Structure 1
């Protein structure tokens, strides 16, 4: 998908100004071996805001714009990323029971958009994504979400494992699917604060992250044909959560 010119921030000073004003940034591209005072400031902002930085050849930057990029191009984000703890506090202060979705290695932006749409429809309040290894929340993701990505909290973190720790510290249980699990999705209790980790369709949730989960479950299928698409599976899980919460209210 071609990059819209309006989504690019080109040059050192324009990027610094965008960072200082709090404009959300998806990713920063640096020309290899770049240096300078402004670059150091940009790196500092990126660390504080969990913005991924990628080192690329000069030719790549030349291919993206004819403007004087000074070795720096950034992608402006279409969503405002939120701090996980602040979102938890906000949800709880509203008297709501947290229902979050964490994405591990989901790279197809259409799946991410569809997951956001299902999440919002089923009452989930937040998506938790890593700063690397996940599809960009670009125009295609926004379109696939039917605008849901503008209305659900999106938390970008530099470590999913640390995010799980934060969830646990706040009394939020973490569930993930496992093909060999004894429990079915409808055996879980979704009435309590919880977060569901959804992984890449091929590799699933990374082992180190799965070990941190509180419970494993599987989604029953009528046939042995492959498995559900990740966005469909997420929709099934979240619908079960919504059904339980509606029945208990």
Structure 2
């Protein structure tokens, strides 16, 4: 199996085997006109494992490797993804109060790394991410997190809204950050099982997720500025959660 310095898997059979073994594939690049039984199996396995597939021109694949890629290249993930319900069950079996973080549209790997560090320090059990629209959890992200991403459960889901429904079914309240919210973090009841959604710095949490949340909060600021960096904001709300639980 060929693997380049960019940590990629090249070729139809190597990618298929990696998927069969569930060996941490982060994303698949597929030539947009690729076809055949093996390609169909790759699509099927990727769909079952919530692995995003991006359809690209041949030139994109050629730019990543100088060997015969057969229309398929996969990126290895630096983390192992976990099933959300399995993580919730694991937390309950330990007799602990669930604390999860959901990232909506956070694309900067440095922010993700910094959020992971705060999450570990404040006792979070998992980070939930979508299969699309989030920064790649690659070696750079792990490095930015100082290894924290390897200490957390990372749950990748194909629908954040469905994940919110699953959280509610398990008795986990969901809180979202919102610039115009009236409640402050210290006014929320964060001592019970909860998940905190942090959104994109420019667009915030998507409206359909915000509507599904149990409550909204805003972090008060004395200085006149638009907003806090998302990793800083996540650190503040995570610390408040930990403080209420101590």
TM-score (norm 1): 0.96
For residues 138-169 of structure 1, the C-alpha deviation after alignment (integer angstroms, 9 at most, x for no partner) is 12111110000001000000000000000000
Q: How does 1:30-179 map to 2 (within 5 A)?
A: 30-179=30-179
Residue segments in structure 2 that go unaligned for 5+ positions in a row: none
What is the aligned residue count?
244
Residue segments in structure 1 that go unaligned for 5+ positions in a row: none
For residues 35-59 of structure 1, the C-alpha deviation after alignment (integer angstroms, 9 at most, x for no partner) is 0100011111001000000000101
Distance in 1 (alpha carbons) for counterparts of 2:141 and 2:4: 14
Structure 1 stretches of 4+ with a deviation exceeding 4 A read: none
Farther off after superposition, 221-230 or 158-167: 221-230
Q: Determine helix, strand or coil for the equivalent of 1:64.
A: coil
1:27–1:238: structure 2 CA closer, same or farther, 3 Å change rule? same
Distance in 1 (alpha carbons) for counterparts of 2:203 and 2:229: 13
Distance in 2 (alpha carbons) for counterparts of 1:93 and 1:136: 30
Matched, 1:196 2:196: yes
Distance in 1 (alpha carbons) for counterparts of 2:4 and 2:150: 19
Distance in 2 (alpha carbons) for counterparts of 1:13 and 1:5: 20
1:49–1:207: structure 2 CA closer, same or farther, 3 Å change rule? same
Distance in 1 (alpha carbons) for counterparts of 2:207 and 2:31: 34
Coordinate RMSD, CA, aligned = 1.0
What residue number does 1:208 align with?
208
For residues 169-214 of structure 1, the C-alpha deviation after alignment (integer angstroms, 9 at most, x for no partner) is 0000000111221111100111100000000000000001100000
Q: Determine helix, strand or coil for the equivalent of 2:212.
A: coil
Distance in 1 (alpha carbons) for counterparts of 2:191 and 2:153: 20
Shift of 1:4: 5.3
Shift of 1:6: 5.8
